[in-house]
């Protein structure tokens, strides 16, 4: 029996209530995404230690091949988890699904602590990837269902912000603390999430679905900081109940691919999301310290900051970009902001490639160039390339199809991340770091032209107008005039 710590019956509560419970819960709920961010960036500050023959925590030397598997294995199991956890959240509840997200993440860090070996590290990151993949499905769902409309946009940004916060946390942790102490701290994150979630309620929407009407009023009252019999609480319960009487959207690829226009919309949404994955930003974050180490090899061009501290600066820039994205997305429009950030990232990647190429032929350039180029790239990614494809995707489909589209594209994107991270190190060895960055640059700049000519603007537009653009038709604006003066003669 879940502890009923969320009963609110105090007559001293203000009539208008408060949103602080919703905000605090949304932050707590996103802790598995923070854990994912730490896992994604974990290799960056620890790569040199792991591959050090004399000081590595593993008795068996860890090779570059092992590192590439450690970086990519998370994204093999994450796509599978997307489907499993999505089904579990609907069948067993959002809360139970969230609890199950923290279990494999905690087991992954525990395996790293208990057994220091390349195989154990790879297996542990597979477990973390499975839990994180589920979290990316369930966390946004839980946050949406506990948040009022007035703050739903803000709480919805917590998912991406939590990931960037995790990146920053692991870069600082890896730079300041011992390797094993860091593992224990990282283990604490999913454990804290699990323990707190045990005392938090199920979402009101799922409780209505289960027929627990009295429970719904108590939960809504606690979330709004109002007595459970308050008028506003009763109105909210009625609204949720009415929503649940309508047919729920189901995972239905057959429905998605039954119409030509939805197939075209899906291909556009998929390509925009794949461009985000192949822009190279995720590889930059995972291998940040390694890239900065390579950039610092020439003593004539290196700067005073260590590679780890440069990575910390990179993560700080990413957080600033995430905050800015929330401020600009509804002002600048989806398409212009995405095109601009993709263009900036493309030129930054090209500059980075030039820097590494000149270094390879013994031509010196200032040591601040790779830092500025990488920070600009990551800022562009956080301010547009990362969040906007998902926004465009949700606005190009009806409510009935959004769940299906989001699940399919998320699974494909995570599988793409696996391929990218698995090939990043071998590709660098084969063609050089400079050529790899030039490939990323070409993807970003090609995406700009695709956005301009093939992707419709979705901001404040209905599906008819969006689909008309996709079909290449110019919709004529119908002028509706009310002729009150005209009467039949």
- Inform me whether the pLDDT recorded for 337 exceeds 70: yes
> CB–CB of 356/320 below 8 Å?
no
* Alpha helices (H) in 432-486, listed in sequence order: 433-454, 463-470
Residues contacting 455, CB < 8 A, separation 6+: 268, 272, 335, 392
In tens, the pLDDT along 156-181 reads 667 778 888 898 898 888 888 888 99
pTM of the predicted structure, to 2 decimals? 0.74
Q: How confident is the model at residue 399 (pLDDT cuts 50, 70, 90)?
A: low
Query: Which sequence spans correspond to the domains of the chain?
Result: 15-200, 250-473
Stretch 256-274: mean pLDDT, rounded?
89
CB atoms within 10 A of CB 82: 24
Report DSSP state, residue 30: T
> Which has the higher per-residue pLDDT, 257 or 248?
257
Report CA-CA distances (Å) from 373 to 207, 236, 313: 49, 49, 12
Query: Which superfamily does CATH assign the domain made up of 250-473 to?
Result: MFS general substrate transporter like domains (1.20.1250.20)
The chain-wide mean pLDDT, for the chain, equals 80
User: Using CA atoms, how far apart are residues 432 and 249, in angstroms rounded to an integer?
Assistant: 47
Task: Tell me which of 138 and 327 has the higher pLDDT.
Answer: 138
Q: Tell me, what's the pLDDT at 69?
A: 86
For 251-300, the DSSP string reads --HHHHTTSHHHHHHHHHHHHHHHHHHHTSHHHHHHTHHHHHHHHTSSTT
Q: In the numeric block, which tokens belong to residue 60?
A: 């068996």
**Higher pLDDT residue, 394 or 134?**
134
Q: What are phi and psi of 456, to 5 degrees?
A: -80, 155
* Kind plus residue range of the DSSP H or E element containing 430: helix 399-431
Element (H, E) at 326: helix 307-332
CA distance 288 to 291: 5
Measure the CA angle with vertex 282, ends 385 and 393; round to 5°.
35
Distance CA 385, CA 398 (A): 23
Query: What is the dihedral sign for C-alpha 194, 199, 200, 201?
Result: positive
Q: Give me the mean pLDDT over the 6-18 stretch.
A: 52
More confident residue, 469 or 474: 469
Q: Confidence band (pLDDT; 50, 70, 90) for 5?
A: very low
Per-residue pLDDT band for 473 (boundaries 50, 70, 90) equals low
**Tens-digit pLDDT profile for residues 431-469:** 988 899 999 999 999 999 999 888 888 777 778 888 888
Residue 461's closest CA among 367, 388, 395, 414?
Answer: 395
Superfamily, domain 15-200: MFS general substrate transporter like domains (1.20.1250.20)
Tokens standing for 406? 């989001």
Query: How would residue 12 be classed by pLDDT, with cut points 50, 70 and 90?
Result: very low
- In sequence order, the 6+-apart residues with CB closer than 8 A to the CB of 242 are none
The answer to whether 15-200 and 250-473 have equal CATH topology is yes
- Terminal CA-CA length for the chain: 76
Strands (E), 190-245: none
Cα 274 to chain center, whole Å? 14
- The pLDDT of residue 489 is 39
CA distance to 61, 68, 130, 185, 447, per residue, from 65 (Å): 11, 5, 21, 27, 31
Each residue's pLDDT tens digit, 29-64: 999 999 998 998 888 888 888 888 788 888 887 888
Select the highest-mean-pLDDT range: 42-46, 389-393, 472-476.
42-46
Q: How many CA atoms lie within 13 A of 385 on its CB side?
A: 29
């Amino acid at each position: 029996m879940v502890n009923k710590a969320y009963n609110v019956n105090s007559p001293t509560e203000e009539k208008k209530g408060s949103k602080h419970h919703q905000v605090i819960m949304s932050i707590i709920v996103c802790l598995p995404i923070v854990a994912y961010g730490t896992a994604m960036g974990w290799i960056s500050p620890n790569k040199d230690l792991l591959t050090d023959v004399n000081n590595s925590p593993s008795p068996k030397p860890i090779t570059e091949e092992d590192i590439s598997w450690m970086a990519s294995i998370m994204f093999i199991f994450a796509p599978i988890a997307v489907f499993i956890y999505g089904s579990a959240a609907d069948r067993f509840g959002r809360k139970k699904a969230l609890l199950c997200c923290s279990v494999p993440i905690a087991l992954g860090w525990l395996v790293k602590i208990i057994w220091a070996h390349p195989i154990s590290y790879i297996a542990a990151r597979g477990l973390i990837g499975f839990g994180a993949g589920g979290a990316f499905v369930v966390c946004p769902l839980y946050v949406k269902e506990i948040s009022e409309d007035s703050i739903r946009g803000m709480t919805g940004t917590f998912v991406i912000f939590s990931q960037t916060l995790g990146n920053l946390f692991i870069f600082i942790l890896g730079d300041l603390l011992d390797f094993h102490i860091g593992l224990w701290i990282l283990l604490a994150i999913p454990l804290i999430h699990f323990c707190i979630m045990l005392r938090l309620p199920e979402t009101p929407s799922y409780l209505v679905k289960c027929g627990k009407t009295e429970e719904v009023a108590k939960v809504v009252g606690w979330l709004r900081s109002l007595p459970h019999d308050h008028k506003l609480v009763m109105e909210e319960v009625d609204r949720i109940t009415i929503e649940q009487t309508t047919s729920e959207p189901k995972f239905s690829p057959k429905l998605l691919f039954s119409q030509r226009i939805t197939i075209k919309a899906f291909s556009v949404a998929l390509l925009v999301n794949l461009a985000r994955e192949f822009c190279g930003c995720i590889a930059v974050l995972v291998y940040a310290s390694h890239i900065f180490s390579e950039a610092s090899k020439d003593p004539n061009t290196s700067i005073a900051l260590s590679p780890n501290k440069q990575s910390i600066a990179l993560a700080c820039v990413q957080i600033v970009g995430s905050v800015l994205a929330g401020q600009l997305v509804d002002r600048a429009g989806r398409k212009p902001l995405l095109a601009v950030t993709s263009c900036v990232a493309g030129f930054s990647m090209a500059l980075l490639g030039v820097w590494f190429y000149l270094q390879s032929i013994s031509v010196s350039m200032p040591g601040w160039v790779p830092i500025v180029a990488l920070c600009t790239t990551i800022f562009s990614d956080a301010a547009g390339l990362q969040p906007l494809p998902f926004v465009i995707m949700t606005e190009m489909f009806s409510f009935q199809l959004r769940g299906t589209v989001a699940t399919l594209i998320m699974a494909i994107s995570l599988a793409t991340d696996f391929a990218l991270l698995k090939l990043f190190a071998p590709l660098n060895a084969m063609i050089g770091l400079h050529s790899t960055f030039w490939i990323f640059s070409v993807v970003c700049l090609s995406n700009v032209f695709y956005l301009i000519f093939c992707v419709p603007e979705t901001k404040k537009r209905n599906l008819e107008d969006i689909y008309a653009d996709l079909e290449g038709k110019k919709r004529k604006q119908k002028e509706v005039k009310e002729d009150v003066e005209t009467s039949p003669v």
